[in-house]
Structure 1
Amino acid sequence: MTKITSLPADDSTCGWFHLSKPRKAKPGHSGNTKARWVVVGAGFTGLAAARQLAIHFPDEEIVLIDAQEVGFGTSGRNAGFAIDLPHDIGADDYIGDIETAKTTMKLNLSGQTMLKNLVEEHQIECHLRASGKYQAAIEDRGIAVLDAYRRGLDKLGQPYEMIDGKHLPDHIGTSFYRKALFTPGTMLVQPAALVKGLADSLPSNVTLHENTAITDVDYGEKTVLTHRNGRITADNLVLTNNAFGMRFGFLQGTMLPVFTYASLTRELTPAEQARLGGKDFWGVIPADPFGTTLRRTHDNRILVRNSFSFNPDGRSKQKYLDQFVNRHRDSFQRRFPMLPGVEFDYTWGGSLALSRNHAGFFGQLAPNVYGALCCNGLGVTRGTATGTLLADWLAGERNDLIDFLRNSPGPVRNPPQPFLSMGVNLSLKWNQYRAGREG
């Protein structure tokens, strides 16, 4: 018997969740249920896996469970960038091995296409737009990153536009940045609205149980998952719960639950929109990974995301929200001095499942237990693609993307505690300091 020692517990102040269309959560599980397929984790990966399993096995019930309400957890808390391009921060040109980069891009594009098709088919109101993204820099180090990435994109044969700082106000309103690299293939979305819509459009043979936190798991010929109101017996268990997969006894000591934080302003008035200028919908990512991400949303709010914390138990901590909202205010004021008096309506945190070698897991974890885990911050596209492909693989399909994922080395082990927390916390503090004005 494996006892789950830490359960998801996100803060209640995610702007994306509260501003998306309300939905009635599916009832939590109760009693005793037996199923051939049970998927744990109803984020992008789990929703995709359950949907595809249901398509492959139309005469079988697929049970999908989540510890929280759909859209309330990690998948509804990101910045809403569905990115197409590879971005290998360990390579000099951010592309690295060209064949690996091409396959990675194919994987990301497949996730984009899946989401676009589902949004169109089910008329999901999530403000999905192919808007591209700006990668912007103010520090010399950031400018060097943009130049390196441009060389990598040339090698990959992908389009881009390098925009000088004096022209950026026409794009994003602010004159804060010195230069930006625009790539057209990114889609921007309201993530909580998207994940809610995906949950409400699942095939009829998927049974979704929300607010069902598994507390014990007994592995064997069949897997028995126990929670406070009953238990579920699975012929096959599929884990799509990212870092919480470690709590189920797998890949222990390989994933890092790192939280990042965002704030969302009130709606800008027409006068404030006029002072801001630029396009009415855009997204900016920082040249430095520890810098500030920005978005102007469909309802004329500004999103500011920066700051990180390492929460080994995978649970939200109020002290970090209280601490980092002040950093968000400072970042906003430096970028948008033309918008004095614009306050934040929401501030929240959301977790990333990271590995030190930037690799995820895809495949079999134990007899009759499978997983697609550790998206390394690319959950919108990568989670959608890997969840779908895992179901394809379980149904007996094979293709180049499945082979690519199956041949991945997987996440490497981390140093033991307390050295792990000491090292990660020191690295986060140093890199956030080193980001300078990019933060």
Structure 2
Amino acid sequence: MSTIKHLPKDNLACGWYHTSAKRTPKPALTGNIAARFVVVGAGLTGLAAARQLGLRFPNDEIVLVEAQEVGFGTSGRNSGFAIDLPHDVGSDDYIGEINSARHQLRLQKQAQEIIKSVVAEHNIDCGLEHAGKYQAAIEPEGLAVLESYKSGLERLGESYTIIEQDELPQHLGTSFYKRALFTPGTILIQPSAYVKGAADSLPANVTLYENTAITSVDYGAKVTLGHAHGTIQADKLVLTNNAFASSFGFLKNRLLPIFTYASMTRPLNEEEQAALGGKSTWGIIPAHPFGTTLRRTPDNRLLVRNSMTFNPNGKCTDAHLKTAYQRHVQSYQNRFPMLPNVEFEYTWGGAMCLSRNHMTFFGELAPNVYGSLCCNGLGITRGTIGGHLLADWLAGDRNESIDYLLNAEKPCANPPEPLLSTGVNANLMLGQRKAGLEA
């Protein structure tokens, strides 16, 4: 039996979690149970997998375990962009190899349809809006990225609109950016509200246990998972816990837990909304990969997200949060000088699971152990479709999308320590510095 060394422990001040509707967490698991399928990690991927397993295996008990509360962890800490388009930051034009890009486009649009269906069927109040996204730039390098991205979209046959500096305040309020490329297909959501609603509307044969951290695992003909108050015996184990899968013995030295940081303001009053102008809701992603992401939310808050750190233990520190907060203040002041007295109400960190070659994992990890892991910054759509299709594959389905995921290149190996930490931290520092005003 192996001990799980790293457990999630996110900081308390997640704005999405605290501004979404309150819910009563499901009880923690006590005692010993058994189930045909056990899914570890009730984020976007785990919820999609558990939902589809429940529907495909209606006569079987599905157990879903979450170490924290649903909506509090990583899936409730992203910026809420359900992106349809390929977003390959390892490629000059964000599109990459065209056949792979077409597969990704189809998968991510399918994920959007799944999300919209869950929201509509269960009346989940998560601010879902077909708002599109703005990819905005001010520095020469960022402006060059927009030109490359435009060419990539043309190769893919996807529509876009270029918006010049003098027109941008009508869209975004701020006149900070020189140019933006708008694509209409992105859906914006309140991420914590969505996963809370998805968790409270699972099929009847899916049992969710929150605040139930898995502390040990024993692999065999059946998988035995230990927790603080007993065990779970699984015929089949499904891992949807991203970088924490390494603690379970899989994809070791292939996953990179990279934390990003966000701050969210208090709601703008009517006078401040008038001073800002622009559309009532929007989302901006930076042209430079190390730049600042922004949201104007339906409840008239502004979100600023930037800064990255490599945290192999899956936790951010108070020092990380303090440094990120200071950067957020500067980024906010650069973009919104017309709103000088609007304070940040929340600051938090959240993990992305990346691989050096920008590949995900989908399929069998070991006998009776399966995973959909490593979304490389597109957790809402890639996580949703990965979990959904993994359940379909376990139910015996084979189709073009499943075959694409099964046959895709897997996350590559990382250099050994201390070279890994030295290299990643140097790359993050250099990238954030090169972002210039876009940071």
Q: Structure 2-normalised TM-score?
A: 0.99
Corresponding residue for 1:418? 418
Corresponding residue for 1:129? 129
Corresponding residue for 1:299? 299
Could you tell me how far apart the structure 1 residues matched to 2:195 and 2:62 are? 18
Could you tell me how far apart the structure 1 residues matched to 2:16 and 2:260 are? 15
The equivalences for 1:86-105 within 5 A come to 86-105=86-105
The equivalences for 1:17-416 within 5 A come to 17-416=17-416
Query: Match for 2:268: what amino acid?
Result: L
Aligned-partner SS, 2:231: strand
Deviations 1:384-408 (A, max 9, x none): 0000000000000011110010011
Deviations 1:294-353 (A, max 9, x none): 010001000000001110001121111111101100000010000011100000000000
Could you tell me how far apart the structure 2 residues matched to 1:356 and 1:90 are? 9
**The 10-residue stretch of structure 1 (314-323 or 301-310) with the greater mean CA deviation from structure 2:** 314-323
1:97 deviates by 2.0
Deviations 1:3-38 (A, max 9, x none): 101100000000000000000000011101011100
Could you tell me how far apart the structure 2 residues matched to 1:426 and 1:92 are? 21
1:91 deviates by 2.8
1:195 deviates by 0.3
> Is the 2:129–2:187 Cα contact (8 Å) retained in structure 1?
yes
Deviations 1:260-289 (A, max 9, x none): 000000111100100100000000000001
Aligned-partner SS, 1:193: helix
> Is the 2:90–2:358 Cα contact (8 Å) retained in structure 1?
no
1:210 deviates by 0.3
Could you tell me how far apart the structure 1 residues matched to 2:377 and 2:92 are? 20
Identity of aligned residues (%): 62
1:162 deviates by 0.2
Deviations 1:53-81 (A, max 9, x none): 01111011100001000000000000000
Deviations 1:358-394 (A, max 9, x none): 0010000111000000011111011000000000000
1:236 deviates by 0.4
1:94 deviates by 2.4
Query: Match for 1:142: what amino acid?
Result: G
Could you tell me how far apart the structure 2 residues matched to 1:146 and 1:319 are? 34
> Is the 2:223–2:237 Cα contact (8 Å) retained in structure 1?
yes
Query: Match for 1:263: what amino acid?
Result: S
Aligned-partner SS, 1:129: coil
Could you tell me how far apart the structure 2 residues matched to 1:11 and 1:55 are? 34
> Is the 2:355–2:412 Cα contact (8 Å) retained in structure 1?
yes
1:228 deviates by 1.1
1:98 deviates by 1.6
**The 10-residue stretch of structure 1 (364-373 or 311-320) with the greater mean CA deviation from structure 2:** 311-320
Aligned-partner SS, 1:401: helix
Could you tell me how far apart the structure 2 residues matched to 1:334 and 1:4 are? 43
Could you tell me how far apart the structure 2 residues matched to 1:93 and 1:348 are? 30
Could you tell me how far apart the structure 2 residues matched to 1:336 and 1:182 are? 20
1:87 deviates by 2.1
Query: Match for 2:135: what amino acid?
Result: Q
Aligned-partner SS, 2:166: helix
Could you tell me how far apart the structure 2 residues matched to 1:205 and 1:267 are? 40
> Is the 2:146–2:180 Cα contact (8 Å) retained in structure 1?
yes
The gaps in structure 1 that reach 5 residues or longer are: none
Aligned-partner SS, 1:166: coil
Query: Match for 1:89: what amino acid?
Result: V
Could you tell me how far apart the structure 1 residues matched to 2:221 and 2:316 are? 35
Query: Match for 1:175: what amino acid?
Result: S
Could you tell me how far apart the structure 1 residues matched to 2:59 and 2:91 are? 47
Aligned residues, how many? 439
Corresponding residue for 1:434? 434
Query: Match for 1:385: what amino acid?
Result: I
1:155 deviates by 1.0
Q: Structure 1-normalised TM-score?
A: 0.99
Query: Match for 2:229: what amino acid?
Result: N
Could you tell me how far apart the structure 2 residues matched to 1:98 and 1:216 are? 42
Aligned-partner SS, 1:295: strand
Could you tell me how far apart the structure 2 residues matched to 1:144 and 1:165 are? 15
